[in-house]
Amino acid sequence: MENFHIDSFAETTFPKIKRVCKALYQKGMLAGADGNVSLKLPFEKGVLITASGVHKGFLHLDDLVATDWNGKVIYGKGRPSSELMLHLAIYKKEDTIGAIIHTHAPWATSLTLSGLPFDTTQLVEAEAILKEVVVVPYHPPGTQELARETASKLGSGPALILERHGAITFGRNLEKAFIFMECLEHNAKILAISHMLASR
């Protein structure tokens, strides 16, 4: 613990964060400065999170910020993502979570705008990987209300849909969180298309 340095951790993990952010961008789940990605720092030091206002498809090392559990910046020059409270609330609620991804996934978001449920029982892969997907009622982005409400919905599975605001997935590492996000959006697309076809 005494030999842990946040700057070294950021440099070591940056290629992995960049690769995941680029994949999310290329798959259309992030656009512009949308979304945020975080990792829990070793030894319960806090979190490493993408900075506010940065393009995730073209991420740089300087676009990462670390904060303690109270949200105080302890590494980096930028401002933490506006959804920092959301990430902190999830980590504090479930200590087995090591990484969180939040995107404005179009298909998952569209389901909430259309009032359609994400019924995992209709899809074998979704049910096996995501279990139950709960929709978090709308609260303004970046608010304590959103953070508190989202944390209260943990426990059903590794993915939540935020009403009118995208999706959030989490896992013991970044790879797991990415797999869950990709699975969520892919199956949300299938559900949305099935509703379109059924209504013709």
Structure tokens given for 11:
């440099």
Residue whose C-alpha is closest to residue 112's, from 129, 137, 145, 95 = 137
Sheet holding 73-75, edge to edge: 73-75, 64-67, 47-50, 36-40, 99-103, 166-171, 159-162, 134-136
Bridge-based pairing state of the strands 134-136 and 159-162: parallel
The active-site residue out of 11, 83, 149, 185 is: 83
Residue whose C-alpha is closest to residue 109's, from 149, 146, 158, 164 = 164
Q: How far is CA 110 from the centre of its chain?
A: 17
Tokens 């979570």 label which residue?
97
83 counts as catalytic: yes
Residues designated as active site: 83
